[in-house]
A and B are shown apart, each in its own frame.
Chain A
Amino acid sequence: MVGAMLAGIGRPVLAACESVGRLALFAAEAVSHMVRPPFHARQFWRHFVEVAYFSLPVVALTALFTGMVLALQSYTGFARFNAQSAVASVVVLSVVRELGPVLAGLMVAGRIGAAMAAELGTMRVTDQIDALTTLSTDPMKYLVAPRILATTLALPLLVVVADILGVMGGYVIGTMKLGFVSAAYLDSTWDVLEAMDVISGLIKAAVFGFVIGLMGCWYGFHSKGGAQGVGLATTSAVVVASILILMLDYVVTEAFFSP
């Protein structure tokens, strides 16, 4: 009775440990291919452009409106205890430290994580990944490493753009609607911002980028069972990457700013 219960708990735990272990090996192998030649620059570039350039509109719009909403919300909220002057600082700190990386990460997870899982999943179920092996090409090196490297390097760039547009959104609402003086708003923005805020945000972005690429490739690479399997892989890649982004966001924040 007790034995059966323990087995019932133990088996899923063991299975979970096993998949985490396999995922870690997968990630380690991918990283090892990033630093060992030959490099597939053409593949890397194709995905880098896809992530960095073609995600720009989505990320830019998200950041802009988030900055605008943030200014409006914090103004009306802070008005209750006469702290309206803090709006500029709140906007810049929340965007740079938190919302820029997280929102860009979630948007890119939806766009790119899904696309990668679908592409690799289709390649898996149509034997294209096996075909690569027979054509003297390591699929980990050719397919996985360039994709993960591309998302890891592209996301910080996107976050720089998101940061700038987020602050701009706040500035536009602050000066045009809330009656802040332009120079004063910008001054309080600059005064409060520290290098560590930006750096932590960019490190978050790189971590999220890695997670997005890793999940897209992992689920795509291991999908099976035709169109339905590919669909499942796509969903899993996006859901798991999004959850991991939020979890790792806490971990990185804790590492940088724990009191």
Chain B
Amino acid sequence: MSALGVSLKGVRKSFGAKRVLDGVDIEVAPNSSLVILGGSGSGKSVTIKCILGLIQPDEGVIEVGGQDVTRLSRRDRLALMDRMGMLFQQGALFDSLPVWENVCFKLLAQKRITRAAARDRAAEVLAQVGLAASVGDLSPSELSGGMQKRVALARAVAARPDLIFFDEPTTGLDPIMGAVIDGLIVDCVQRLGATAISITHDMASARRIGQQAAMIHHGKIVWTGAAAELGNTGNAMVDQFARGEREGPIQMELRK
């Protein structure tokens, strides 16, 4: 298994008249971890959906592992998708399937595992996100919001992808559980050799899981740097954001 690098150059995307991404440039080295920061509605989720090929950008080049994903044939795109994993912001669990089938969905789809073995594997991965094996038999609608998030996280990592996206992995979790999940993400990068791109609003979490950090504002990347420096980067905008201060270059504005 080899990690995948990601590179975005001049990516633009509008929905109708609303321009969400206005020339986004991002470089992520293989086997590294990037956190993306930015205000609510600034286009973070749209950015990673573009990388996954779920949203087609209007302009720009997106390369994953050196391949331009906007130009891939259907077959190559599927092959690439096999190596990626995604935690959706809202979980996006399949409510017609029990938790264990959700967790092992990709392994089952790729026929890498039998249904009998999938239950055991699901229990293993659920344990990593702090859930008992008995949760596997419940339906996603029977879980609390934080439990759903953790099941979704288990599903994203269960097939051991080479490139993983986490859209707000710790939102809605208690602080201790949040730290456990952060540990899991770090593990994916350090032990399993994956590349991770995460979105988070939690600065402590960003410092723990990120090596690099990038801040998106008004559709552009306005800063990239080491995640450990968040809060005292010297960039007024980033520091204001990281410390959560009302006064500063970023003014609250009504979202269009």
B-binding residues in A (CB < 8 A) = 119, 123, 126-128, 130-138
Contact = CB atoms under 8 A, between A and B. Distances in A.
A128 B49 CA distance: 13
A130 B55 CA distance: 10
A133 B54 contact: yes
B88 A127 contact: yes
Given A128-B94, A130-B49, A131-B94, A136 B82 contact: yes
Given A119-B96, A134-B54, A134-B84, 18 more contacts: A123-B94, A128-B93, A130-B49, A130-B54, A130-B88, A131-B88, A131-B94, A132-B94, A133-B81, A134-B52, A134-B85, A135-B106, A135-B159, A136-B110, A136-B159, A137-B105, A137-B106, A138-B78
A126 B88 CA distance: 9
A135 B92 CA distance: 12
A130 B92 contact: yes
B69 interface: no
B2 interface: no
A136 B54 CA distance: 13
Contacts of A133: 52, 54, 81
Interface in B73-126: 78, 81-82, 84-86, 88-90, 92-94, 96, 105-106, 109-110
A134 B88 CA distance: 10
Nearest to A128: B92
Interface of B: 49, 52, 54, 78, 81-82, 84-86, 88-90, 92-94, 96, 105-106, 109-110, 155, 159
Contacts of B54: 130, 133-134
Contacts of B78: 136, 138
A131 B84 CA distance: 11
B86 A134 contact: yes
A135 B90 contact: no
A126 B82 contact: no
Contacts of B49: 130
Contacts of B159: 135-136
Contacts of B105: 135, 137
A135 B88 contact: no
